[in-house]
Structure 1
Amino acid sequence: METAKIRILVLDDQPLLRYGISGYLNSQPDMMVCGEAESIADVRSKIAECQPQVLVTALRLGAEDSLKLIKKLKTETPQLRILVYSALAETIFAERAMRAKANGYVMKQAAREELAIAVREIVKGGIYVSRQVALSAFQKSLQPRPKNNRMPRSGAWLEELSNREMHIFQLLGSGFGNRQIATSLGLSVKTIDSHQENIKHKLHLRSCAQLRERAAKWVEQTFDAEEYVSRDAGQQRKWKLPPRRLRVVEALAASATPDSELAAGTSATASQPVRSPPAPYARNKGV
């Protein structure tokens, strides 16, 4: 008797990336992509339509809040397994995704085989994190927090921000105005202003100009920003796209790409701890 294939829904606002990921997962003998979604608004109808076992989703979905989506979906459909993939190795993003009840976190720079390994692991009831994330978490656990509560590690100050504040900080750095952010998040401009003041206070910044400058620099450094045009409600809007996202499509679609930037990741079942990872991966800033 033939074993039923794992049913997967892929969520990403980048059509090319969805195509590459879906194509690779469909090539696995035990997997089937039953649907694709380009926005959070599409997800629930797609889940009802194809009844996936696994949702494979990008962490960054334009102006949409993926962490909030993960929390809601795990409340509404607790049996759904959620695998997040991202170009961000900083542990804060993986930690918040896992706290939102995601079942796994995979780096986009990882080998394409790692995506399939992660899907199989979480379907069995385990958890999965890429080695770079596991390594960062391990290194972080060894660092004491300074008495002045200000942490020297790169990007560590983001830990002071709530999920909502971090999302708004990212949107500010991507060039959104307060009114645009309010519209995107379904909040009032006054609420966005209040969040902005809280962010300034937590980051010890004196003005909105300083906040936007800090946010823009962080977005540029974090996402290796490259402009591209996306459509939102029939209007063209500029977003930021890291070149690494295009790389993932190449890695997933290429038929003869045996080598990888990163070895297979680290997985663990719910009853087993994540093992200590090997030597750190060196980022290539020229890519």
Structure 2
Amino acid sequence: MDDHPVVREGIIQLLSRDKNLHVCGEAGNAYEGFEGIGKVLPDIAIINLSMPGKNGLELIRDIRCAYPQVYNLVFSMHDEMIYAERALKAGARGYLMKTEGGEKLIEAIYKIAKGEIAVSPKVSNLIISNISTKTQKTVNNPTQLLSNREFEIFQLIGKGHGIRQISEQLHISIKTVESYRSSIKEKLKIKSTEELVHYAVSWCQAEFLGMK
């Protein structure tokens, strides 16, 4: 599942070279992907976190609940040090950045097929560190304090979305968005909405440039 046809085509060509792997479908958005999974029930679904429609983390949770036999592998451009742990908590069995080569993707698929978790050594060490020292992740990255929904809204704020836009995109009330915004400010120890917007925009810009 990826919203870029070129990426999907590349993955299909890559996997087709391995006689043990069979591509049973593809999708350009979350809704098509979820519907397709219900029809073909693949062993593994390769998912990009950023797609039209539903948030990638929410999609992973939905797949895990509806089709627990289907393993999810995230293949994304987003920084693994920020998103991998969230994806695993949502139900993914692996996380691979698109900057990795095709061999790494094949390797991750085989690991997941054997029932293992497929993440980089950096992510593995981060998770172990967070388990042994729960406060460490909050010091290094305060956004880890946010729930997945709060994090999603935080990102939308950083992308310049207003309250009404967020409400319409996530299909929740304006009052609910305001409640989440208040919770975000409290968790990040931010006093004003203006300060939150500035922080969110700066964070998103840094994440886009690979500085996070």
Instruction: Tell me if both proteins adopt one fold, taking TM over 0.5 as the criterion.
Output: yes
1:65 corresponds in structure 2 to: 55
Report the AA paired with residue 51 of structure 1: L
In the TM superposition, what is the alpha-carbon distance from 1:24 to its structure 2 partner?
1.4
TM-score by length of 2: 0.88
Q: From 19, 24, 27, give the equivalent of 2:14.
A: 24
Q: From 166, 176, 179, give the equivalent of 2:151.
A: 166
Q: Pairwise CA RMSD of aligned residues?
A: 2.4
Q: Which ranges of 4 or more aligned residues in structure 1 deviate by more than 4 Å? A: 138-144
CA contact (8 A) 2:31 2:54 kept: no
Q: 1:152 to 1:100 in 2, by over 3 A?
A: closer
Deviates more, 1:208-217 or 1:135-144: 135-144
Please state which structure has a larger fraction of its residues in strand: 1
In the TM superposition, what is the alpha-carbon distance from 1:221 to its structure 2 partner?
0.8
Please state which structure has a larger fraction of its residues in helix: 2
Q: Distance in 2 between matches of 1:172 and 1:63?
A: 17
CA contact (8 A) 1:26 1:33 kept: yes
Q: 1:193 to 1:18 in 2, by over 3 A?
A: same
- Paired-residue identity, %: 35
Q: From 188, 206, 215, give the equivalent of 2:173.
A: 188
Q: Distance in 2 between matches of 1:116 and 1:25?
A: 7
Q: From 31, 34, 51, give the equivalent of 1:41.
A: 31
Q: From 126, 131, 151, give the equivalent of 2:116.
A: 126
Taking the TM superposition and a 5 Å limit, the aligned residue runs for 1:223-242 are 223-224=208-209
In the TM superposition, what is the alpha-carbon distance from 1:36 to its structure 2 partner?
1.1
Q: Distance in 1 between matches of 2:51 and 2:120?
A: 20
Taking the TM superposition and a 5 Å limit, the aligned residue runs for 1:135-214 are 135-140=125-130, 145=135, 151-153=138-140, 156-214=141-199
1:233 corresponds in structure 2 to: none
Report the AA paired with residue 185 of structure 1: L
**Unaligned stretches of 5+ residues in structure 2:** none
Determine which structure has more spread, i.e. the larger CA radius of gyration. 1
2:207 corresponds in structure 1 to: 222
**Unaligned stretches of 5+ residues in structure 1:** 1-10, 225-241, 243-282
In the TM superposition, what is the alpha-carbon distance from 1:222 to its structure 2 partner?
0.9
2:40 corresponds in structure 1 to: 50
Of structures 1 and 2, the one scoring higher in RCO (CA 8 A, sep 6+) is: 1
In the TM superposition, what is the alpha-carbon distance from 1:137 to its structure 2 partner?
3.1
Q: Please say if 1:74 is aligned against 2:59.
A: no
Q: 1:193 to 1:46 in 2, by over 3 A?
A: same
